[in-house]
Chains A and B, each alone.
Chain A
Amino acid sequence: DVKVTQSSRYLVKRTGEKVFLECVQDMDHENMFWYRQDPGLGLRLIYFSYDVKMKEKGDIPEGYSVSREKKERFSLILESASTNQTSMYLCASSPQRNEQFFGPGTRLTVL
């Protein structure tokens, strides 16, 4: 079974902190994705990566950056966390042209 793991299920940070969310997949997938999910807004794509060190902006990249140094790991970075970044963050991976496999999510609260 494909497994996508996220470093934390719940995270509480303070405004202005630098926050790292880690995602690891164990199926050698080329593509990885970061979404945020907010009530009434569905899933919104923040960034995705289609290869090591390759990334593309999604629909809402402002205030975020990403890093993919190894194929299995895709990190989401909040350079200076703000309260409007309080959300559920979902990571996913996929092989080419196929379904995405999701991690359990990280619920981030920024105080």
Chain B
Amino acid sequence: AQSVTQPDIHITVSEGASLELRCNYSYGATPYLFWYVQSPGQGLQLLLKYFSGDTLVQGIKGFEAEFKRSQSSFNLRKPSVHWSDAAEYFCAVGAGSNTGKLIFGQGTTLQVKP
């Protein structure tokens, strides 16, 4: 069965520091992979997605993610974090059907120190 693991429940970084959020997935075929961000009290917003092709994917708000098939990972990165990046981040994998169903990780809460 498909699954997504975000090993870090909570991460704190200083403003201006680099960021990497980890995501590991379990899926038999080539996955569709997504990163979403959720600000407090809001819905989820798509940051970026990977379907095929270049394994380094650029997203909105200066984020990027790299698909590594050998490691079953899709880690999210940002070179310099801003205070407004404080939010919860979810990794998701497509469940392999035409229904658009996604399997979500448990989420990582990012806190940014001034």
Contact = CB atoms under 8 A, between A and B. Distances in A.
Given A102-B44, A104-B43, A96 B90 contact: no
B49 A99 contact: yes
Q: How large is the interface on A (under 10, 10 to 19, 20 to 34, 35 or more residues)?
A: 20 to 34
Contacts of A75: none
Given A41-B106, A42-B90, A42-B105, A98 B43 contact: no
Nearest to A32: B100
A43 B98 contact: no
> Per DSSP, are chain B's interface residues mostly helix, strand or loop, or mixed?
loop
Interface string B82-109: 0000000010001001111110111100
Contacts of B45: 102
B42 A48 contact: no
A62 B12 CA distance: 37
B41 A48 contact: no
B89 to A, nearest CB: 11
Contacts of B106: 40-42
A86 interface: no
B100 A104 contact: no
A30 B44 CA distance: 19
Interface centre among A42, A50, A56, A90 (most CB of B within 10 A): A42
Interface string A1-44: 00010000000000000000000000001110100000011110
Closest 9 CB pairs of A and B: A94-B100, A102-B43, A31-B100, A42-B106, A102-B44, A96-B98, A50-B99, A43-B104, A104-B43
Interface of B: 9, 32, 34, 36, 41-46, 49, 90, 94, 97-102, 104-107
Interface of A: 4, 29-31, 33, 40-43, 45, 48, 50, 56, 90, 92, 94-105, 107
25 contacts: A31-B101, A33-B101, A42-B90, A42-B104, A43-B107, A45-B101, A50-B98, A50-B99, A56-B99, A94-B100, A95-B100, A97-B32, A97-B94, A97-B98, A99-B34, A99-B49, A100-B44, A100-B100, A100-B102, A102-B36, A102-B45, A103-B43, A105-B42, A105-B43, A107-B41
